[in-house]
A and B are shown apart, each in its own frame.
Chain A
Amino acid sequence: MKRALAMILTVLLLLAPLMGVSADEKKVVRVLLAGWDLNDGIDPVTAAPFKGFLTWWAENFTNEHPDIEVQINAIPWDTAQQKQQAELMAGNVDVLYTGSYVSQYYEMGLLRNIDDLLANDTEYNPLELFPEGIWNSAYNLVTSDGNRYALPAVMGQRYTVYDTTLFDQWGVEYLSEYPTTQEIIEKAKQMTGINPVTGEQNYGAWFYLPAPMDIFTFVAWSYAYDITGGIGTTEDPANIQWELNDEKMVQLFTDFGELVKCTPPGFLTGTGNEYYATEDNNVAIFLDQNGGNIMSQYYQTGETAMLDRYKASMNVGPNGEGWVAVDPIVMAANPQDVDAAWTVMKALASPARQEYHYSEFRWTPAVKDYSFLNPADIHTPYALKIADSAHYTLIDESNPFFTTEIVPLVNRYCSDVLSGKTVDIQAMLDELQAKAVAWSASQK
């Protein structure tokens, strides 16, 4: 028995070099992905099979990098923030795909700055790969004082979508390619009432209000009025010089109130858009919307009726920009192997990986060259054009004062407008300004 065991061990030892790179020589990178489908499956909407990420990864990365062992885990978006923070604090992860709260991780010291890695990697030119607007200023990628900690992985789509059928029925000219806030308000008002053709109640506009951290439409409209919220950065909140009660802010709130009056019932709780992308739609203009539902119908049926009916135009910023969400790939503060983690990080953010997710799951790629888009997809190019001129201000969810004070204030203001209450906008903003100054003072 002992002799047999000794012989088996000897044979194994002799064969070990033939097994390729041994486990000891492999660099290990632990990856945690929020919301990714790792395994092959079937799309519940189209019933079409899709390729899971692990399959794509094996085809495109594992074979090319046999010296790197990538341990990939996925978690659902629900409670992802808490789980990822726990993993980062415990040192259990090297590279993550994460969400809008990534700037908080960086402020907590849980993420590694990648400026040195970019500087040393002379063959890697991000500006050739990613839209300049988000690369240079997205708070999820770089701090306002220039410390870079992330690569863009997936983008959100937020632009203006409008129903040409309703426009035709009301006899209103379609929105221009770069609509202004005044144009939107005027046309929304014209189309709020009883439709002259169908006799149904129509509403001029809709946008999503009760967001947890942001009111995207309000942020986009602040760009249109050249509002920055003040002078300073979120990294140095104690020294922000707030500008929240000037004439531009008063005008923004006044016009925003006019827009809100054109919304359907249920708007305050995020409903009222149930007929969007359907034949029974009763809202003319959808702000900060995306073409997901419309494109899903096309992919499912091949029909282009909704594509023809629902047109897109740019957002309301001076160059058509609006707020752009970017979900990034980041590196933990102390990865096990920095070079291996950097290789994996670049692969996860690569245009090839983003093309895979666009093809299989219709995720919006954050890439400069989007020639791989489906020719029928007339919506995603708007999101990418907007990303190219994106910029960020203090009116942004990276600013704690914005999420805890300004967002609730805008919500209350919209509610007051819809309930017919007369709001003294200047007094409201004076109070907000005083509170902001007190908040900054408390940060010292």
Chain B
Amino acid sequence: MAVNTSAMLKKPVKKRFILTNNWIGYLFVAPLILGLLVFHLYPVIRSFMMSLENTNGVTGTFIGFDNYRWILRDSMFWSSIYNTVYMAVLSLIFNVALSFLLAAMINSIAKARGVFKSIFFIPNVVSVIATSILFTFLFYPTKAGVVNSILTMLGIQPVEWFSGISTSRLTVCIMGAWRMIGYYIIIFMAGLQSVSKEMYEAADVDGVNEYQRLMHITIPSIRPIFAFVIIMDTIASMRRFSDVYMVGGTSGSPGGTLVTTVMYIYRNAFTGTQMGVASAAAFVLFLIILLLSYLNITFVNRPNDR
């Protein structure tokens, strides 16, 4: 067999990071890169710099990591972390479980799937503000409220819902589930429809029941979808602000139970003009979300399933 020795003797071409003969391509992506640098990267860097200053956002003095020390010793910050995680876990249970079950039910019917998908998705297009106002009336704490009036008819005492310290977070999560499950149903349905039918046919031949189909075929097949939904819901929950602001204001009434970490950041930044403290809290939140996302990817979407 002839061997091209001249090619073997040629010096390898050193790969340059930027190939100058591709300048047209760089020109096309330049606006996007510039936009990312200016509107994403620069604010992140500037925010980190502010977290090292005692600043109102315009003028400030460098104080090193004092803002981080302040928030890590602030019981209100840890209380906001607790509230955020509490509602994140509740949301995860409601949103992921409910949306998967509903998606599986819709997927099992032959007709009118589109109708059901639309019905469940409609709340997702309603604004958070409108939803919060609506739910404030639905969940009014006396029997004048819609939900409480139904409970009263069933012989159950009215529940405080948003006004109760023990029920406020649960109610916010119920409100959030109403808005979000439609979106996750769409995602789960896409995953369910991609599961191979041959596997179900083989299972039928082996005499597998519905529960076994679900646990041993359906769920393992759409594990990446679960990972995605869990990550998305976790990130959204860690950034919760609009709904709790509408219900309880910046004080997180009742009893500070609705003060999330983003609320803590907002309160320090815009009502207290303590931009340095707010920026430090934002960075700590960023690290927490990063860690949770890594854990989600590692444990939910394990390498041997990829």
Chain A interface residues (CB < 8 Å from chain B) = 81, 85, 89, 101, 104, 107-110, 209-213, 264-271, 397, 400-401, 403-405, 407-408, 410-412, 415-416, 418-419, 442-443
Verify if B123 is at the interface (C-beta below 8 Å from A). no
* Chain A residues with CB below 8 A from B163, complex form: 265-269, 271
Known interface pairs A109-B58, A211-B249; A268-B255 also in contact (CB < 8 Å): yes
Verify if B92 is at the interface (C-beta below 8 Å from A). no
Q: A400-B272, A400-B273, A412-B251 are in contact. List 10 more A-B contacts (CB 8 A).
A: A85-B57, A265-B141, A265-B142, A271-B141, A400-B271, A407-B250, A408-B76, A411-B254, A418-B254, A419-B164
Can you list 19 A-B pairs with a CB-CB distance of less than 8 A? A212-B249, A266-B140, A268-B163, A268-B253, A269-B136, A269-B254, A271-B136, A403-B272, A407-B250, A408-B76, A408-B251, A408-B252, A410-B251, A411-B251, A412-B255, A415-B253, A419-B165, A442-B54, A442-B66
Question: Which B residues, 48 to 85, have Cβ-Cβ distances below 8 Å to chain A?
Answer: 54, 56-59, 63, 66, 70, 76
Q: How far is the CB of B230 from chain A (nearest CB, A)?
A: 30
The proximity string for B residues 252-277 relative to A, scoring 1 for CB distances below 8 Å and 0 otherwise, is 11111101000000011011111000
Known interface pairs A266-B142, A408-B259; A107-B254 also in contact (CB < 8 Å): no
Could you tell me the distance between the alpha carbons of A420 and B271 in the complex, rounded to whole angstroms?
30
* Chain A residues with CB below 8 A from B273, complex form: 104, 107, 400
Could you tell me the distance between the alpha carbons of A416 and B54 in the complex, rounded to whole angstroms?
33
Could you tell me the distance between the alpha carbons of A409 and B237 in the complex, rounded to whole angstroms?
25
**A210 contacts which of B140, B253, B267 (Cβ < 8 Å)?**
B253
Could you tell me the distance between the alpha carbons of A410 and B251 in the complex, rounded to whole angstroms?
9
* Chain B residues with CB below 8 A from A211, complex form: 249, 251
Could you tell me the distance between the alpha carbons of A268 and B251 in the complex, rounded to whole angstroms?
10
Q: How many residues belonging to B are interface residues under a CB distance threshold of 8 Å?
A: 37
* Chain A residues with CB below 8 A from B257, complex form: 415
Task: Please provide the 9 A-B residue pairs with the shortest distance between their CB atoms, ordered closest to farther.
Answer: A415-B255, A210-B249, A108-B58, A411-B251, A268-B254, A400-B272, A404-B272, A265-B141, A210-B253
* Chain B residues with CB below 8 A from A265, complex form: 141-142, 160, 163
Known interface pairs A403-B272, A415-B254; A269-B247 also in contact (CB < 8 Å): yes
* Chain A residues with CB below 8 A from B270, complex form: 81, 101
Verify if B191 is at the interface (C-beta below 8 Å from A). no
* Chain A residues with CB below 8 A from B57, complex form: 85, 108
**B162 contacts which of A81, A108, A269, A412 (Cβ < 8 Å)?**
A269
Q: How far is the CB of A207 from chain B (nearest CB, A)?
A: 13
Chain B interface residues (CB < 8 Å from chain A) = 54, 56-59, 63, 66, 70, 76, 136, 140-142, 160, 162-165, 247-257, 259, 267-268, 270-274
Interface pair B274/A400, CB less than 8 Å apart: yes
Known interface pairs A268-B163, A271-B140, A442-B70; A109-B249 also in contact (CB < 8 Å): no
Interface pair B59/A266, CB less than 8 Å apart: no
* Chain B residues with CB below 8 A from A89, complex form: 58
* Chain B residues with CB below 8 A from A264, complex form: 142
Q: How far is the CB of B171 from chain A (nearest CB, A)?
A: 10
* Chain B residues with CB below 8 A from A410, complex form: 251
Interface pair B56/A108, CB less than 8 Å apart: yes
* Chain B residues with CB below 8 A from A212, complex form: 249-250, 271
Interface pair B56/A412, CB less than 8 Å apart: no
Could you tell me the distance between the alpha carbons of A403 and B70 in the complex, rounded to whole angstroms?
17
Could you tell me the distance between the alpha carbons of A81 and B270 in the complex, rounded to whole angstroms?
9
Q: How far is the CB of B143 from chain A (nearest CB, A)?
A: 10
Could you tell me the distance between the alpha carbons of A171 and B132 in the complex, rounded to whole angstroms?
40
Q: How far is the CB of B198 from chain A (nearest CB, A)?
A: 54
**B256 contacts which of A107, A213, A411 (Cβ < 8 Å)?**
A411
* Chain A residues with CB below 8 A from B63, complex form: 442
Known interface pairs A265-B160, A403-B271, A419-B165; A209-B255 also in contact (CB < 8 Å): no
Interface pair B255/A419, CB less than 8 Å apart: yes
**B271 contacts which of A85, A213, A269, A271 (Cβ < 8 Å)?**
A213
* Chain B residues with CB below 8 A from A442, complex form: 54, 63, 66, 70
Chain A residue, CB-CB nearest to B76: A408
Interface pair A209/B253, CB less than 8 Å apart: yes
Could you tell me the distance between the alpha carbons of A241 and B129 in the complex, rounded to whole angstroms?
41
* Chain A residues with CB below 8 A from B165, complex form: 415, 419
Interface pair A110/B267, CB less than 8 Å apart: no
* Chain B residues with CB below 8 A from A110, complex form: 58
Could you tell me the distance between the alpha carbons of A120 and B257 in the complex, rounded to whole angstroms?
53
Chain A residue, CB-CB nearest to B129: A78
Interface pair A404/B256, CB less than 8 Å apart: no
**B253 contacts which of A85, A269, A405 (Cβ < 8 Å)?**
A269
* Chain B residues with CB below 8 A from A405, complex form: 76
* Chain A residues with CB below 8 A from B162, complex form: 269
Could you tell me the distance between the alpha carbons of A107 and B272 in the complex, rounded to whole angstroms?
12
Chain A residue, CB-CB nearest to B54: A443
Could you tell me the distance between the alpha carbons of A268 and B259 in the complex, rounded to whole angstroms?
14
* Chain B residues with CB below 8 A from A108, complex form: 56-59
Could you tell me the distance between the alpha carbons of A182 and B247 in the complex, rounded to whole angstroms?
31
Known interface pairs A269-B163, A412-B256; A210-B59 also in contact (CB < 8 Å): no
* Chain A residues with CB below 8 A from B58, complex form: 89, 108-110
Q: How far is the CB of A234 from chain B (nearest CB, A)?
A: 10
Could you tell me the distance between the alpha carbons of A107 and B60 in the complex, rounded to whole angstroms?
11
Could you tell me the distance between the alpha carbons of A248 and B182 in the complex, rounded to whole angstroms?
54
Q: Which of A212, A415, A416, A419 has the most chain B CB atoms closer than 10 A to its own CB?
A: A415
* Chain A residues with CB below 8 A from B247, complex form: 269
